[in-house]
Amino acid sequence: MGCGGTMTDECEWDAELAEAARGAMGHAYAPYSRFAVGAAVRLADGRIITGANFENASYGLSLCAETVAIAATNAAGDLSNVRAIALIGGPMEPPAQEDPSPITPCGRCRQVIAEAAMLAGRDIKVYCASLSGTQQAVYTISELLPHAFSAADFSA
């Protein structure tokens, strides 16, 4: 069963994971978009691995916070132990208006998270928050990317 962006007993907010993502956001390198994002991955044993977006003057070479966190998890040898990922972000100079909606992963990041879910053998929870953290939503990766491309798509 999915979370559908709503808070239920099954999909309660993971405050510790969100705070780790907020801390990672402080390390974002986003001089071009001025949009900072932090991500945090929770492993089966409770450990948390973080990542922040890292831009490049050639936008196509930029790294999203989610992919940085997933890659760091893979480098630690723990990709099969991913249980959840949280992301938080927004403009580095926030407007004076209301807090925007929670950010969600881009398409590329959704595919990367879906691949991690396939390797982990479980539907990964995705905790999404706005810059201030007041706007929150919880999804599963299968809700965000219901027809993910997979190794099965290579077979004839």
Question: Closest by alpha carbon to 51, among 83, 75, 80?
Answer: 75
Angle at alpha carbon of residue 23, lines to 30 and 74, rounded to 5°: 80
Question: Which residue is catalytic, options 66, 93, 98, 143?
Answer: 66
**How deeply is 45 buried, as exposed, middle or buried, from its count of CB atoms within 10 A (0-12, 13-18, 19+)?**
exposed
- Is 10 one of the annotated active-site residues of the chain? no
Catalytic residues: 66
